[in-house]
Amino acid sequence: MRKPGKTLAPAPFDADEVRRLAEGLKALDGALLPILHAINDRFGHVDERAVPIVADVLNLTRAEVHGVLTFYHDFRRAPAPRHVVRLCRAEACQAMGADALHAELEKACRGGPVLVEAVYCLGNCALSPAALIDGKLYGRLDVAKVLELART
């Protein structure tokens, strides 16, 4: 897992910067994933305009790059809202009320600066329900606590 907090602030799309990132990482084995991560980290998402650039640098088809980009949920294809809550929906968290928590959060956060996403197992089962809130792990959550943490 990549370490949170090692990224630059998101920047506006820059095709030259995308090419520099891709060229700088293309020598790695399996370079596509590190390049997509670098673009995602730098710009806050992987803009569709980056796909042909990455394909060109790696001598891949656009379809190959697009397929990897859309397969992995860690890559954003549009800028993220201000706060992201990744709520665990695995069995232990479900047993401790994660489904109801998810439904309540969806209602409370609709259209606002907080995005609620489902993930399956954060390895924090003893403290369920658990979530990653802006990349930091929390446990024993309820709606009020999630909203407080996401809005600070």
66's tokens: 């697009």
Tens of pLDDT, residue by residue, the chain (152 residues): 344 444 345 789 999 999 999 999 999 999 999 999 999 999 989 999 999 999 999 999 999 999 999 999 889 898 878 888 999 999 999 999 999 999 999 999 888 888 899 999 999 999 999 999 998 999 999 999 999 998 76
Q: Note the pTM of the prediction, 2 decimals.
A: 0.63
Give dist(CA 93, CA 121) in Å, integer.
8
CA separation for the pair 89, 99 (Å, rounded) = 7
For residue 41, give both structure tokens: 């980290």
* DSSP label at residue 45: S
pLDDT at 152: 62
Euclidean distance between the first and final Cα of the chain, in Å? 25
What domains does the chain contain, in order, with CATH numbers? 15-71 (no CATH), 83-150 (3.40.30.10)
32-65: per-residue pLDDT in tens? 999 999 999 999 899 999 999 999 999 999 999 9
Per-residue CA distances from 5 to 2, 9, 41, 79, 106 (Å): 9, 10, 10, 17, 26
Facing residues of 138 across strands?
Answer: 131
